[in-house]
Amino acid sequence: MRRVKLFVLVCAALVIVAACAWRIYDVNARAIRYPTERYGIGDNVALEGGFFADATENTAGYSLRIDGAQTMSYNDYVRAYGVEGAQTVEGLDEASIICLTVTITNDSDKAPDQGGFNISLMSLVKPDGSGLMRVDTKLWSQAEPALAESPYAASTGVLPHTSYTTHIPLSAGLLTRDTLADQASGGVTATYHQPVEPGSYDLYLSVMPTRKLVTIDV
């Protein structure tokens, strides 16, 4: 049984997601020299105020740990992590998502509405910048119903001095340089039929003032 609750605050959704996608892509493509820290699975990553789009994310006191990563199908995810009433969909059995087991820790005295992490803006990016996978909040809401009210982006927080573990799916296939502009500006509709390409990915936990990356191999 889960000991604490995941708190979700609705934010400016699609505009923020699109801006974040372009910022991550731009950082890779232009090789902007923000200080970079690299971590591995199992490492506790202190966010230390790092952010994606806006410092008001207020991540000071928060840390994340990636406990595991695996490729799954839509139906695998629903069977493994869906709450009561979550439904599988006939034919969605291709291993088209990467599921991350993530532990969020709040070591501060801040209440969930005073700080947190815009976790739905996390992205998996190929090291050469050629592709991007993003958090699928629609599928994630099958395991975390509080996300259902915010179909694109949400700020998440946990109670002071507690931790919470959740299972976050990243999907929508790999966005290419040719299609990123259209898909980022118009939103991404995951098809769950494009298989995940095996290999190494960089998981972005923050972009500025320090790029915090976790190496993920699938």
pLDDT of 97: 93
* Of 10-24, 59-73, 149-163, highest mean pLDDT: 59-73
* Of 15-29, 52-66, 110-124, 196-210, highest mean pLDDT: 196-210
Label residue 73 by pLDDT band (50, 70, 90): very high
Please compute the mean of the pLDDT values over residues 48-64 and round it to a whole number. 79
Please compute the mean of the pLDDT values over residues 5-26 and round it to a whole number. 41
Whole-number average pLDDT of the chain: 77
Give percent above pLDDT 70 in the chain. Answer: 70
Label residue 178 by pLDDT band (50, 70, 90): low
Residue 218 has pLDDT above 50, yes or no: yes
186 vs 200 pLDDT, higher one? 200
Please compute the mean of the pLDDT values over residues 43-67 and round it to a whole number. 84
Contact between residue 1 and residue 176 where contact means Cβ atoms under 8 Å apart: no
**pLDDT tens per residue, range 91-110:** 999 999 999 999 999 998 88
Dihedrals phi, psi of 181, to nearest 5 degrees: -60, -50
Residue 45 has pLDDT above 70, yes or no: yes
The single-letter code of the amino acid at 30 is R
SS3 string, the chain, reads CCCCCCEEEECCHHHHHHHHHHHHHHHHHHCCCCCEEEECCCCEEECCCCECCCHHHCCCCEEEEEEEEEEECHHHHHHHHCCCCCCCCCCCCCCCEEEEEEEEEECCCCCHHHCCECHHHCEEECCCCCCEEEECHHHHCCCCHHHHHCCCCEEEECCCCEEEEEEEEEECCCCCCCCHHHHHHHCCCCCCCCCCCCCEEEEEEECECCEEEEEEEC
pLDDT of 25: 44
pLDDT of 3: 42
